[in-house]
Amino acid sequence: MTPTNHDSAYSDLGPCEDREFELMEYADGALPAASMPALRAHLDGCARCRAFLREWTAVDASLAAAVTPVALSAGFEDRLRERIEEVSRTVSKRAALEQEERHYAQLMQALRRGLSWRTALNAVAAGSVCGGVLTAMSSLVPDLLASLHVQLPALATAELAVGAVAVIGGFVATQLLRRPVAASLLG
């Protein structure tokens, strides 16, 4: 029997069952140092495990040769930098757009909250202006009103004063709100 046939006979038998994993670690150079003396002593006396170890080492060497080292192609880092610059530009644009959209949303929210108050105030101002104008007109141009078939009760001087205050107050309120009355009424 040639040594090869002798080895393969023991290979067919397999190693001692509780030694397989250890033999793998031993072959990979990963067996803990504390376990080394016991395994070496076992190998000295066990042909099956020696045969298994030889076969395992052969498969290991074949795999190492088959799975050859790989490397990134030349210029990889340059291409990566270009890609990051491109992404960076896109991210900046998107961030600026999102910031503008958030700002716009906040503005619209504030406008809606304030609009109801301002609309009410503007309505009061507009009413005051109209009331004041009509009051003034009723006193100053009665003939005009008569021709327009508009009839108003007779008004005293006090009412004229109230009308004047209403006109001035409405004008001031409108200016303070800085919004055209018509535009705010229209919402």
Q: Which of the stretches 70-78, 130-138, 140-148, 174-182 binds another protein when contact is defined by CB under 8 A? A: 70-78
Indicate the DSSP class of residue 149. T
Q: Name 34's Cβ contacts closer than 8 Å, sequence gap at least 6.
A: none
Smallest gap from residue 48 Cβ to another protein (A): 14
Size of interface with another protein, in residues (CB under 8 A): 34
Give the chain's end-to-end CA distance (angstroms, integer).
106
Nearest CA-CA partner of 136 in 168, 159, 113, 120: 159
Does residue 6 interact with another protein by CB under 8 A? no
Smallest gap from residue 70 Cβ to another protein (A): 5
Separation of alpha carbons 76 and 42, rounded Å: 51
Identify whether the C-beta of residue 177 lies closer than 8 Å to the C-beta of residue 123.
no
Nearest CA-CA partner of 122 in 90, 169, 170, 166: 170
Separation of alpha carbons 57 and 91, rounded Å: 52
What part of residues 37-56 is at the interface with another protein (CB under 8 A)? 55-56
Backbone angles phi, psi at 46, to 5 degrees: -130, 105
Smaller CB separation from another protein, 65 or 186: 65
Q: Which of the stretches 22-30, 102-110, 136-144, 162-170 binds another protein when contact is defined by CB under 8 A? A: 22-30
What part of residues 80-139 is at the interface with another protein (CB under 8 A)? 80, 83-84, 87, 91
Q: Which amino acid is at 58?
A: A
Q: Which of the stretches 57-65, 127-135, 145-153, 170-178 binds another protein when contact is defined by CB under 8 A? A: 57-65
Smallest gap from residue 106 Cβ to another protein (A): 25
Footprint on this chain of another protein (rule: CB under 8 A): 4, 8, 11, 20-21, 24-25, 28-30, 55-56, 59-60, 62-73, 76-77, 79-80, 83-84, 87, 91
